[in-house]
Amino acid sequence: MSHLITKNRDPILDLEPWVGQRQATFRFDLTDGATGQRLGQLTPLREASLSHDTQRTIKRSLSLSLGVADTAAINPITDRVSPFMVFPSGTEYPLGRYMFTDASRQVFTSGIASAHTAGGLATVTLNDEMFLVDQQITRGVSSINASISSTIQAVLSGLNVDIEMEASPFLGAESWTVGTNRGSILEALALSGDYFSPWFSNDYKFHFIRTFDPSTRVPDFDLDDGNNVIRDAIIETDDLLTAPNRFVVISNASNSPDIEVVAIADVPPTAPHSIAKRGFVLPQVVSLQLNDGGQAQAVATGLANRQTVFERVTLTTAPDPRYDSYDVVRWQEQNWLELAWSMQLIEGGTMTHVLRKSYAS
């Protein structure tokens, strides 16, 4: 039975029953990071891989193995790599933009190699542009009594970053000294502002979205409909024996010192580790700098939606470039929040998904 979904159905990508096979290629554009000028294309020697993990500050990493010509062509200091998935119809899907962060070169004797390359091959790792963002600040930052949304924009001021951010009604109550990594500041502001951890998307933009309850969300993808799940074992794991079932948020930074700032959010009673089903409370207490009880309650509820992993499933599909971050996936007639995925950038390769089950309140 088909369910309403937010991502447009594609007969090829969704592997409809009448699709016997599909064809696609991957293109790797090399660009100048400062000017945006396209410098050419890279042709990796072996399959490339791309991974996305919402639990990391820098969410995405790209791995490539390069031949002699490509190794000579790249400037790891300034260049960027933008992969695309391309279909015969001319439709192409961007998969983000990446900076070189690690490179190792294998040197060998070759009569055709120039003195510059020395016959070198390279294995390179690239990260998304959060690597550019997550550097130490050289001026202190204060969010005290300031809009968290505007503080985020101030933290990113001066960086060549295109921000797409949902509004947050909350004010900040923290400050950071010179030398603090910008990534940790943004993670703290995201938590206090009731955002999911921010990420650089397929569209190259830096996204901040408010937390949500996946169980009530219209799914982005429906894996129960169609023929998406393929080969390899489906692995189920959980942390149910130790997972907290109550989140307690406290703060000592209230605008009114005489008013206690405490908020409590319990996991839904339908969850297998809920207080009702376990018979006792397993709390997780978080101390933050927050202004009032309303903000604390939003953060506590957000923690239940974004933090500890409870029940997970790992499954494999064909590569699908529409997946991004915090997608809600319909699987076995329930909603799951996608925590991570990894993709082989070769047609015929696989895409592995890690999903977390959500429970209705």
Task: Assess whether pLDDT exceeds 80 at residue 223.
Answer: yes
Give the per-residue pLDDT at 243.
Answer: 84
Highest mean pLDDT among 119-133, 281-295, 327-341: 327-341
Dist. CA 328–CA 269, nearest whole Å: 21
Q: Which of 105, 130, 108 is nearest to 119 (CA)?
A: 108
- Architecture of the domain spanning 141-208: 3-Layer(bab) Sandwich (3.55)
Dist. CA 106–CA 94, nearest whole Å: 30
Task: Assess whether pLDDT exceeds 60 at residue 1.
Answer: no
Q: What percentage of the chain carries pLDDT values higher than 70?
A: 87
Query: What contacts 75, CB < 8 A, 6 or more positions away?
Result: none
Highest mean pLDDT among 142-146, 227-231, 345-349: 142-146
pLDDT band per the 50, 70, 90 thresholds, residue 225: confident
Q: Which two tokens stand for residue 110?
A: 């070759």
Top CATH class of 25-130 equals mainly beta
Give the per-residue pLDDT at 115.
Answer: 37
Range in 117-121, 270-274, 287-291 with the lowest mean pLDDT: 117-121
Dist. CA 12–CA 31, nearest whole Å: 30
Q: Which of 314, 286, 323 is nearest to 302 (CA)?
A: 286
Q: What is the mean pLDDT of residues 237-245?
A: 82
For 308, other C-beta atoms within 10 Å of its C-beta total 16
Domain boundaries, the chain: 25-130, 141-208, 241-308
Containing H/E element for 98? strand 98-106
Task: Assess whether pLDDT exceeds 90 at residue 123.
Answer: no
